[in-house]
Amino acid sequence: MTDYALVVPDMTTIRVPTLREISTRVPEVSASDPLRPVERAFRDDPHLRAVAVIGPGDTALLTRLRLETMLSGRLGFGRALLSRARVCDILEEDALRLHAELSLRDAAAEILARGGAEEDVLVVEDDGSPLGIVAVSVVFREVGTVFREVALRDPLTGLPNRRMLDERGADLVAAGVDPERMAVLYIDLDGFKQVNDTLGHKAGDELLLSFAARLARAVRPADLAGRLGGDEFAVLLHDTSEAEASAVADRIVQLALEPFDLGEHHVQLSATVGIAVGTDLAAFTASLTPLDALLQQADAAMLYAKRSGKARTGRPSEPAASGASERRALIRQRLPEAISGDLLRLHYQPKLDLRTGTITSVEALVRWTDPELGAVPAGELVEVAEHTGQIRSLGDWVLRTACAQARAWLDAGHAWSVAINISPLQLAAPGLSAAVLAAIDAAGIPTRLLQVEVTESRAVLDEGLANAELRELEAAGVTVHLDDFGTGYSSLAMLRRLPVSTLKIDQSIVERIDSDQADAELIAGVINAAHILGLSVIAEGVERRTQLERLRTLDCDIVQGYLIGRPESAADVVPLIGGALATL
């Protein structure tokens, strides 16, 4: 038998059987019994593998193989002497004896240690009394089953993994299950990364275990709930309808809202669930399996729901989610032509300086309306560009266009600064500052007329890479804004190490400033701390006058939002700015 080590992962969720559960009871005979009746018993029962031999010493085992070998005439007695032989005369001396409660993994390790072969048979004992037998080959076959079960399970939660989901989906289709009666739920935990970052990965693991238990309770026994990785889970349902799948999804959303008890900490988060049902399969190509197609659609539906506010369910039939995979592929194909053919446009949203009551700057936002794709939202465009490596060429186009527009406005008497968004991937690549300064020089504008906005989470995570590029821009007179503050993972203390002049408070925090005292106090604290650090503060998403007035009282520097002005083309933004000044 091949010499190898037996290693089975410690999986508390995978039950390893004992020898008792796989052993077979065998007849008992006395060691002093004549051999002829025993030989006849083996001949009459072709399935009889062995008999347990009770004697004055330890229990012994007489196997069919041993009996036939000894009576063959080449070894032992031969059949001519069978009439005078007793059972004890042909017993094996070294039969393996193992206790019935030994687990299969421990039994296999013991067999290896004793040099057992696959053709051997074990005596299974219970406190010294013979209980039955089991073939060594069966032990290793069962251990292989345990290995396979481990390979199909998530090592943390014990839930099925993606491989098991794939196999179950294929089995259902092979068994003739109607794909239109199948459904997939794609689940993502909202805010899980913050738990890991603030409480540590041990707390994060505990939360995942707790959610996995809730998820298993939320589905029917015949359905399969699994973990795809990280904080993403999936549920495969069959023999179901859209209404039933939606009911399960709603139940999962509600279960996730219940607080998680993590020892000293009580954590509140939510889950966003994408739903795809078999009737949606027509939108996908035949190259995908039904499960792959449903997973892609459910993933797209989950992302759409997350952009719409999280803690909810979504369907791929909703706008911007249908055919998401094919749409992303088409965006990737057509984007180079859109960039080189000048098919993209920049719209500009004004920002109001609350101290002077004037518009001092605008933010440039990319827009693309394609004949085949229709309007492509900026978030979708940037996501595809980052994933495909086209973000550099897209960023270069935005930079050149924004600088040229700042020059045109300056020539018309409007010394407005233009803010452009810098992708984290651009920031992490060498040469960003050189490219920005070259575009400013080519347009012939002062460096103060260009602002760069970087996203909080990646600017901090890539702090070392970001610092060199941002400090070079700052030294040249380009101001740096930290965008979406409050949604990432940095702190005000870390901002002291970054060359940032302005914070932009995310609109999700500004939204309730005029109705929620806690949010107002939070923003007040951010503004005060930023001012102590010498930073200006911009509040995004201002849509109501009550929000504007509250921000005035909190000494916010600049506001931006639909109340001030919507993003408009360069030609349309000038009169829009004049109108905003007249009414605010």
How far is Cα of residue 237 from the mean position of the Cα atoms in its chain? 20
One-character DSSP codes across 135-152: EHHHHHHHHHHHHHHHHT
Residue 528 neighbours by CB distance under 10 Å: 13
Cβ–Cβ under 8 Å, residues 255 and 270: no
Cβ–Cβ under 8 Å, residues 301 and 308: no
Q: Which residues contact 360 (CB under 8 A, 6 or more apart)?
A: 351, 353, 416, 417, 558
Q: Which CATH number describes the domain made up of 350-364+390-583?
A: 3.20.20.450
Cβ–Cβ under 8 Å, residues 359 and 416: yes
Per CATH, which fold does 155-321 belong to?
Alpha-Beta Plaits (3.30.70)
How far is Cα of residue 426 from the mean position of the Cα atoms in its chain? 25
What's the pLDDT score for residue 90? 78
CA distance from start to end of the chain? 87
Between CA 25 and CA 100 the distance in angstroms is: 12
CA distances from 219 to 50, 206, 236 (A): 46, 21, 9
Three-class secondary structure of residue 123 per DSSP? strand
Angle at 474 between CA 473 and CA 480, to 5 degrees: 90
CA distances from 318 to 48, 290, 321, 470, 499 (A): 64, 20, 6, 40, 42
CA torsion sign for 479, 483, 488, 491 is: positive
Structure tokens at 115: 């040099």
Q: For the chain, 584 residues long, give each residue's pLDDT as a single digit of tens.
A: 333 333 333 333 456 677 777 777 777 888 888 888 888 888 888 878 777 777 776 667 777 777 877 776 554 455 555 667 787 777 765 667 776 677 766 776 666 666 655 556 666 666 666 566 676 767 766 665 655 556 677 878 888 888 888 888 888 888 888 888 899 999 999 878 778 777 888 888 899 999 999 998 888 888 899 998 888 999 999 888 888 999 999 999 999 988 898 888 888 888 999 999 887 765 554 556 788 888 888 888 888 787 767 788 888 754 444 455 567 778 888 888 898 887 899 999 999 999 988 888 999 999 998 888 888 888 788 877 876 778 888 999 999 999 999 999 999 988 999 999 988 777 766 788 999 999 999 999 999 999 999 875 544 445 666 788 888 999 999 999 988 776 544 455 556 667 889 988 888 788 888 887 877 888 888 898 888 888 899 999 898 899 999 999 999 999 999 889 889 999 888 876 655 555 66
Domain pair 19-148 / 155-321, same fold: no
What's the pLDDT score for residue 485? 73
Structure tokens at 69: 């070998």
Q: Select from 127, 138, 137, 118 the least CA-distant residue to 59.
A: 127
Q: Where exactly are the structural domains of the chain? A: 19-148, 155-321, 350-364+390-583
Around 385, how many Cα atoms within 13 Å sit in the side-chain half-sphere?
Answer: 26
Structure tokens at 44: 């009459």
How far is Cα of residue 338 from the mean position of the Cα atoms in its chain? 32
Place of tokens 């060498």: 430
Structure tokens at 143: 């251990």
Our CA dihedral for 334, 338, 341, 345, rounded to 10 degrees, sits at: 170
CA torsion sign for 348, 354, 355, 356 is: positive
Strands (E), 260-357: 260-262, 265-267, 270-277, 313-314, 345-353
> pTM here?
0.50
Our CA dihedral for 51, 55, 57, 62, rounded to 10 degrees, sits at: -20
Q: Select from 239, 234, 213 the least CA-distant residue to 224.
A: 234
H or E segment at 54? strand 50-54
Q: Select from 502, 503, 487, 510 the least CA-distant residue to 562.
A: 510
Cβ–Cβ under 8 Å, residues 152 and 163: yes
Cβ–Cβ under 8 Å, residues 477 and 439: no
H or E segment at 26? none
Structure tokens at 461: 């995570």
Per CATH, which fold does 19-148 belong to?
CBS-domain (3.10.580)
Structure tokens at 403: 């600088």
